[in-house]
Structure formats: C-alpha cells, structure tokens
Amino acid sequence: MRWVKALLLAAGVAFALGAATGVQAAQPKCAIQAKLPPKGLPKGLGPYANKTLELSPCVDKELAKKGEQLFEQYCSGCHKITQRYVGPPLKGVTIARSPEWIMNLFLNTQEMVWNDPIAKALLQQYLTVMRPPADATEKDFRAIYEYLRYIDATGKTEVK
C-alpha cells in the first residue's frame, strides 16, 4: 500500500511540475520574439475595422525580408525608421498602434486621414497625406508590416 501512495504522490508532483512547465512549453520558441501592442487599441476605418489580424508571437523572417524590399521600394521616399522625414519615423509603430489600424491606414488611407482621429492628428502634424502605391497588394502591405515588426523586435533595419 505504501508503494501505491508513493506512486500517487510522485505522479501528483510530476503532474504539478509538468503543469508549471507546460505554460512555458505552450509559448512558441522563436528566433525573433515580436513585441505586441497593448490590447484595446483603436482599429481605425476600413477592411480591418471589424477583424482581428491574427499575429504569431514570432516574427516571420522571410516575410520581413520581403517587407524590407517593399519598404525600400514604396515607403523609404517619405519614411525613415528613427527620424522625422516627410512622414513620421516608424520605429515603435507596431507597438504603439494596433495591427488593424496600420493595415487600415495602408489599405484605406483617404478615409483614415479624413475620419480617424489619430490619422487626422498625424496629418496636422506632418501636413502630408500618405499615398500608398496603387499597385501594392494587401499581401505586400502585410509584408511591410512584418518588416516593421522585425525592426521593433530587433532594433535592426536590415533583415539577416
């Protein structure tokens, strides 16, 4: 009977230890862990206003690499990462704004600039309306967003 009690006690301890470490095991192991914005930030106006952009806690390096190329092609003429230029600096944007707000700004710029209070304030500050390229797709903008997540997670502007 003692061995049954000992076995049950050992199983209980093992279960408790497993449950405690199971919390850590449930978190994915990432090469690059993303910093996520706080919950409840405004989503803006547009196709993501009533959706949630599901993000992995891990930065997708391949998507970020593509986003880096697209950023250089489409965005770098007006945006720098750490300094004000034509538009605002973008370091920290994926932490300060919800992913849905950023995607809505990319995809629904005109309505956001004229009707979203945050975008309106940025217009007043920078006196320039963002003009996303007409040939960029939603997937392109998602890649640019991932590149910005990479920057906010690593502090580096070159994806390696």
Q: Say whether pLDDT at 121 is over 80.
A: yes
Contact 146, 60 (CB under 8 A): yes
Q: Dump strand ranges (E) for 9-158.
A: none
pTM confidence score:
0.82
Describe the crossing of helices 99-107 and 138-154 by its angle, rounded to 10 degrees. Answer: 140
pLDDT at 16 over 50: no
Instruction: Report the SS3 class of residue 115.
Output: helix
Check whether 93 has a pLDDT greater than 60. yes
pLDDT of the residue at 117: 98
Residue 6, amino acid: A
Backbone CA torsion sign across 97, 100, 103, 104? negative
